[in-house]
Structure 1
Amino acid sequence: MNRLDIIQALMGQKNLKNYLEIGVENGHIFFRIKSTFKIAVDPKFIFDATRRFGKSIINPYNLNNQYFEKTSDDFFAQDAQRVFSAKKLQLALIDGMHEYQFALRDVENVLDYMDDNGVIIMHDCNPQTAGAAGCFNDWEVGEWNGDVWRTIIHLRSQRPDLNVFVLDFDQGLGIITKNKPESTLLFSPEQIKELTYNELVQNREQWLNLKSADYFYNYFDLQRP
């Protein structure tokens, strides 16, 4: 399973349609989504008008896409109020800059425009190596997930209005809903900044609230394909 499977299951069975994707790059997820209200945000799209046209032929839903080639911070400061004035978000994929404070701002900004029954999916929450788990300036080679895992710990510690868990596949898919949490953590933001990858390894299941695919289907009352 991967993030596309999760998105399609929520759209198909829970009728979540209004979609935002932060960190679109070449659009390999975005262009496959079937929704008449799709918002793409990325500082640099890795596709041109010709590719957009081709993807609209393959998936006519892409005719209505709105594209914002800018940082997510700029999008929320300059455009979000207008874009979401008539329609609240129902589903968002956050896959932008994979650092704690960036990812946290993205989540908090999305929540301001999200329907009470909406869902946020956050990629790269469960890094498997120390090299993949740090900030961008420390990254050298190989996979880079960043320290989005700290964002999960922050939300589980600081937001008692949210239920947050991580699906244990596709490099860790954080799931965030506006529900009472099943469990919480007690870290301050200052403590979270000081956590090490080795500490994450020792407490991975508890801190990330790791869940299986079966849990996802049960949580949202979905039928498995």
Structure 2
Amino acid sequence: MKRHEFLRDLHKATANRNYLEIGVNDGRSLRLSRVPSIAIDPAFKVVTEIKCDVHLVKATSDDFFARENPLQHLKGGRHPLRNLKRGRSPFGYWRRTTLDLSFIDGMHLFEYALRDFINVEKHSDWSSVIVFDDMLPRNIDEAARDRHTGAWTGDVYKIVEILGRYRPDLVTVLVDTEPTGQLVVFGADPANTVLSDKYDEIMAEFDVPDPQKVPEAILDRVRAVRPETLLSAGFWGPLVRARNLGARRSRGWPPLRRALEEFAVSR
């Protein structure tokens, strides 16, 4: 299954109410969205019809997330939240915007992808689904930091090891899509600051000159699941229902994590 086919079906599986995309390029992935969306790229050149309510942002993702209210476009209206202070109107307060589905396909260097994840996670929660593109380079040249090939993933594959080491609280699933694989991340925690706190430490270890030492497990895709297998897993329905009911992390994440771990064992 090709990456855009997988993304199309992932929109259906997640029944996402909003969508954020980093790295628009010509719009082929953005055209899959049918929900309020934000798409970020400093040099997009959309050549396809977009069929969603989209805010196209011509900026770097770092600059976008530095804005005071970056997800303002996704707010669907005011919600009459209860205010316990006497004398205050209960109306006119925004419900916190949480990203349901995010796709990270920006600059193909691991530090950019890492910062993108840090920023996206701040606006996500346990039920959010975050996808990285280009996680399974097919050879060493394709994985170089200094691009010298036509097809190029860069060294974003390092995100697999970084999240595994620094964020074991997350569940990650490598997906064997064509041409260069994807990584799906579950269990985002906006309160977790480990990656930000350890950013300099991570850079010191992983920012190394070419040629990159790509793990054989990445090149051979030994841990990657078939996209059809992930899309047909039984946890999507319960995830969507719990998310739409507003289940808190303490209630929604433990059963989802168990289901994901069972899925990992069975595949």
Give the TM bin, normalised by the shorter chain.
0.7 to 0.9
Q: Distance in 2 between matches of 1:222 and 1:161?
A: 19
Is the Cα–Cα contact under 8 Å of residues 217 and 223 in structure 2 kept in the other structure? no
Residue-by-residue CA offset, 1:93-151 (whole Å, 9 max, x unaligned) = 1110010100001011111101321111111101112111011xx22232110000011
Amino acid corresponding to residue 203 of structure 1 in structure 2: A
2:263 is matched with none
Q: Which moved more, 1:105-114 or 1:210-219?
A: 210-219
Residue-by-residue CA offset, 1:67-105 (whole Å, 9 max, x unaligned) = 110000001001425446643110011110010100001
Q: Which moved more, 1:82-91 or 1:23-32?
A: 82-91
User: What is the 5 A alignment of 1:167-182?
Assistant: 167-170=175-178, 171-178=180-187
CA RMSD of aligned residues (A): 3.0
Q: Distance in 2 between matches of 1:208 and 1:23?
A: 27
Q: Which moved more, 1:202-211 or 1:64-73?
A: 202-211
Q: Given the alignment, which residue of 130, 134, 150 partners 2:140? A: 130
Amino acid corresponding to residue 96 of structure 1 in structure 2: G
Rg comparison, structure with higher value: 2
2:78 maps to 1:68: no
Amino acid corresponding to residue 98 of structure 1 in structure 2: H
Shift of 1:206: 9.5
2:260 is matched with none
Q: Distance in 2 between matches of 1:83 and 1:66?
A: 7
| TM-score normalised over the length of structure 1 | 0.78
2:48 maps to 1:39: no
Residue-by-residue CA offset, 1:34-68 (whole Å, 9 max, x unaligned) = 11x11110001213xxx68xx25xx3xx3x21111
What is the percentage of aligned positions where both structures have the same residue?
A: 27
| TM-score normalised over the length of structure 2 | 0.66
2:218 maps to 1:204: yes
Structure with the larger helix share:
1
2:79 maps to 1:80: no
Is the Cα–Cα contact under 8 Å of residues 16 and 90 in structure 1 kept in the other structure? yes
Shift of 1:220: 5.5
Residue 132 of structure 1 aligns to a residue whose secondary structure is helix
Alpha carbons of structure 1 residues 200 and 27: separation in structure 2 relative to 1, 3 Å: same
Q: How many positions carry a matched residue from both structures? A: 203
